[in-house]
Structure 1
Amino acid sequence: MIDLDDFDLPEPPVAPMGADGDVRFDQSDIDALFGDFDGPVAKKKGLRAVIESAVISHERLPMLEVVCDRMVRAFASSMRSLTTDAIDVSLENVTSIRFGEFMNRVMLPAMVGVFKVQEWESFGLVTVESSLIYAVVDALLGGRGGGAPTLIDGRAFTTIETALVSRMLGLALKDFSTAFEPIEPINIDLERIESNPRFAAIAGTSNICAIATFRVDMLGRGGEFTMVFPYATLEPVRHKLLQRFMGEKSGRDSIWEAHMASEIRKTNVSVNVVLGEKAMPIAELKALEVGQTIALHKSPDDALDLACGGVTLAQAQIGQRRGKVAVRLINDVSQGKMKS
């Protein structure tokens, strides 16, 4: 049997005692327990610092906000027709966030719809929180509303609930396509609905996304749904979404453009018909006399070049009309051999 008294063990540290008998700790004791937090913190450098930065530098997309405002009015009418209830739809905000951070903020249970923009061949998300899901199901199944909020029991959504919410999402995506039409016509199709956000990953966690949050209120019940557009999805129309108002032409004046086009069409130009070409030495050229014939090796039925400013515009044939020498075009000017 081992007796601990046979070993010389170090004495445990004793905390200093105050005058009143309380145990006192100074900063060195605290640092020994929890570590020294006053030392320099290693800063992230390079690409990791950019990727893991919490600050997002993004371009504001004014036209996306206009599209969302137009969608609010159309979607409110669509929901009134669907539920025959008094529906109030409002736009909460339009902002940007990293995709991974947004997916971590999704409160479960929730439905995550994956939609595809056919023209861009890109995907987006629409998330519906549980309170709006139960409100839509209650309204479509004949509930009167106005009662206590539905408690979340943690169960999975049924097929009927998913189908009813899909009808609402189909209307929302259709109205968004209609609101987006003045910028560019698009078709959006709902691909699938997931209940687990991990199965709806359409972008990298560090990718920046534009999100638009909408709130739907119906007789004291309702909730929010959010549309998520990765910046890669909006890239084909990014230059249009940067416009400040609908129909902006980036400084172009259509009135002056039409005026200049009409005046250019009235401009007179000289057109030459090239009967033929022949290369000859300068000495032979100087020896030419009046009445001498130059053979061009062209027959009357051969096509001639119609040129302007040394540029061949089209092909033509020579003839007579009303006692004057005339030419008749064989092909259009736009289809001629444009060669200098």
Structure 2
Amino acid sequence: MSPPSSEEEDDLAAAWGAALEEEVGEAVAETQADALRVLNQAEIDSLMGFQGGDGGRGEQSGIERIISSGLVSYERLPMLEIIFDRLVRIMSTSLRNFTSDNVEVSIDSIASQRFGDYLNSVPLPAMLAVFNCREWDNYGLIVVDSAMIYSVVDVLLGGRRGTSAMRVEGRPYTTIERTLVERLLKVVLADMTAAFNPVADIHFEFDRLEVNPRFAMISRLSNACVLTRLRVDMEDRGGKIELLLPYATLEPVRELLLQQFMGEKFGRDSIWETHLAEELRHTNVALEVVLDQQTMPLSSIIDLKPGDMLYLNSKPSAPVRLQCGQVRLFTAELGRVETKTAVRILEEAQMVPEAVV
């Protein structure tokens, strides 16, 4: 096979150059087209993490994950979920007695949310109840939606079963409706008190009822809160009740809420407590006998040298003190048994910490 001539080599190089220029031109054109392309609404929603209409309860993605990553997850407080499960069981019984109807209460979701974001997402009309946690020196919020309000009014005023509650939107709530909802809220708060009692001694007290979210400010807008959505079904009627507890409200019992569930005792282990008490009884402690205490200038203490004498302001028969560390335990009498110095306990002293010089 003969080698290619110079003309053939020139033609081959020209063909390669033309193909390369064509590929580069196509790549530049595609890049310019991508740069001029505008995102549609679906792509913007996917980027921002809004998958539509679920009120923020769906799976988060995109920038929303980054924004909400600073929130404290309620899953770090495992006892809360147990308390809310207990609340659901108690509410199911108490609301059946309250409405004389078949009531089923269930948890829709438990999530963390910023207080300001939640207030902006409250579906109006609704009633917002502010309750006081007196032992924790803070407040919480209960939101009752319009469907639940009209269902409660209908069932308490003798509405027939099998008929949906009539809603009249666009008007303020009447005094009768507010009074009936307030009675419902007091039942819910009593159930919350019973649900939290195994963990902490707390009483939730009804404070006021608002219809405007701006008047229900119990926390800073940027503070994180635990939002629990409860669904109440009364045959073909019902609605939602939402409980909002700021993390600042739960701070006094945060260590208790970190416990894991262990039986009916909510994290208490009696076996470990018994073992710890037995081991403490075998612990060695130092018991000191104090003859006298004096206050001396620092210069006098610095000038002390071997052979100097310190005079005590107590008589040989004066009682002495027995103490452990800085805790005074007994008053005793100093004496001698054979060749050893001994003390005899006279009485038990008050538990007052004292400094030893």
Q: TM-score, normalised by structure 1?
A: 0.70
Q: After TM superposition, give the deviation of residue 67 of structure 1 in Å.
A: 0.7
Q: Secondary structure at the match of 2:101?
A: coil
Is the alpha carbon distance of 1:296 and 1:138 closer, same or farther for their aligned partners in structure 2, counting shifts above 3 Å? closer
Q: CA deviation at 1:310?
A: 12
Alpha-carbon offset, residue 101 of structure 1: 1.5
Task: Find the aligned partners of 1:130 and 1:164 in 2 and give their Cα distance.
Answer: 13
Deviations 1:268-323 (A, max 9, x none): 9887685999xx986799xxxxxxxxx988546522344789998643235799xx
8 Å Cα contact 2:232-2:238 kept in structure 1: yes
8 Å Cα contact 1:173-1:188 kept in structure 2: yes
Q: Where does residue 155 of structure 2 map in the other structure?
A: 139
CA shift in 2, pair 1:116/1:276, >3 Å:
closer
Q: Contact between 1:117 and 1:123, CA under 8 Å: does it hold in 2?
A: yes
Instruction: Give the distance between the partners of 1:298 and 1:200, measured in 2 at CA.
Output: 68
| Residue from 44, 67, 87 that aligns with 1:53 | 67
Hey, what's the Cα distance between the residues in 2 that align with 1:311 and 1:187?
37
After superposition, the Cα gap between the structure-2 partners of 1:71 and 1:329, relative to the gap in structure 1 and judged at 3 Å, is same
Matches within 5 A, 1:161-310: 161-245=177-261, 247-248=266-267, 253-264=272-283, 299=315, 301-306=317-322
User: Contact conserved, 2:290 with 2:320, CA < 8 A, in 1?
Assistant: yes
Q: Which amino acid in the other structure matches residue 155 of structure 2?
A: A
For residue 72 of structure 1, what is the aligned residue in structure 2? 88
1:129 deviates by: 0.5
1:276, 1:315 → 2: CA distance? 15
Distance change >3 Å, CA 128–CA 97, structure 1 → 2: same
Distance 1:169 1:305, change over 3 A: closer
C-alpha distance 268-188 of structure 1, shift in aligned 2 (>3 A) = closer
What is the identity percentage for the equivalent residue pairs of Structure 1 and Structure 2?
A: 37
Q: 1:311 to 1:164 in 2, by over 3 A?
A: closer
Contact kept, 8 Å, 1:274 with 1:307, in 2: the verdict is no
Aligned with 1:327 (options 327, 334, 344): 344
Q: Is the 8 A contact 2:328 2:351 kept in 1?
A: no
Q: Whole-Å Cα distance in 2 between the matches of residues 169 and 319 of structure 1?
A: 71
Residues 1:111 and 2:127 are matched in the alignment: yes
Q: Is the 8 A contact 1:216 1:224 kept in 2?
A: yes
Q: What is the correspondence of 1:145-164 to structure 2 with a 5 Å cutoff?
A: 145-164=161-180
1:306/1:262 CA distance change after superposition, 3 Å: closer
| Distance across 2 between alignment mates of 1:255 and 1:83 | 46
What is the CA–CA distance in structure 2 between the aligned matches of 1:192 and 1:272, rounded to whole Å?
A: 61
Gaps (5+ residues) in structure 2? 1-30, 40-62, 295-303
1:205 deviation in Å?
A: 2.2
Q: Deviation digits for residues 3-30 of structure 1, max 9, x if unmatched? A: xxxxxxxxxxxxxxxxxxxxxxxx99xx
- Please say if residues 177 and 186 of structure 1, whose CA atoms lie closer than 8 Å, have aligned partners that are also in contact: yes
**Hey, what's the Cα distance between the residues in 1 that align with 2:143 and 2:101?**
23
What CA deviation, in whole Å up to 9, does each residue of 1:231-283 have, x standing for no partner? 11111112222222254369x9323212212333xx69887685999xx9867
Instruction: Mark the CA change 1:263 to 1:154 in structure 2 (over 3 Å): closer, same or farther.
Output: same
User: Partner residue of 2:17?
Assistant: none
Q: Is the 8 A contact 1:89 1:215 kept in 2?
A: yes
Matched positions, count: 288
Instruction: Output the CA distance in 2 between the equivalents of 1:215 and 1:143.
Output: 20
CA distance in structure 2 between the aligned counterparts of 1:55 and 1:272, rounded to whole angstroms: 59
Residue 327 of structure 1 and its aligned partner are, at CA, apart by 3.0
Check if 1:85 corresponds to 2:101: yes
Contact 2:71/2:224 (<8 A) preserved: no
**What letter corresponds to residue 255 of structure 1 in structure 2?**
T
Distance between the aligned counterparts of 1:205 and 1:276, measured in 2? 57
**Tell me, what secondary structure is at the counterpart of 1:156?**
coil
2:111 aligns to what?
95
Matched letter for residue 244 of structure 1: Q
CA contact (8 A) 1:318 1:328 kept: no
Separation of aligned partners in 1, 2:215 and 2:292: 74
Whichever structure has more helix as a proportion of its residues is 2
Distance in 2, matches of 1:310 and 1:192, equals 50
Structure 1 gaps, min length 5: 1-26, 39-48, 286-294
Residue of structure 2 in register with 1:14 after alignment: none
Equivalent residue, structure 1, for 2:44: none
Q: Distance in 2 between matches of 1:305 and 1:67?
A: 50
SS at match of 1:107: coil
Letter aligned with residue 233 of structure 2: D
Q: CA deviation at 1:82?
A: 1.2
Please give the alpha-carbon distance, in whole angstroms, between the structure 1 residues aligned to 2:255 and 2:140.
19
Q: Distance in 2 between matches of 1:270 and 1:206?
A: 54
Paired residue secondary structure (1:53): helix
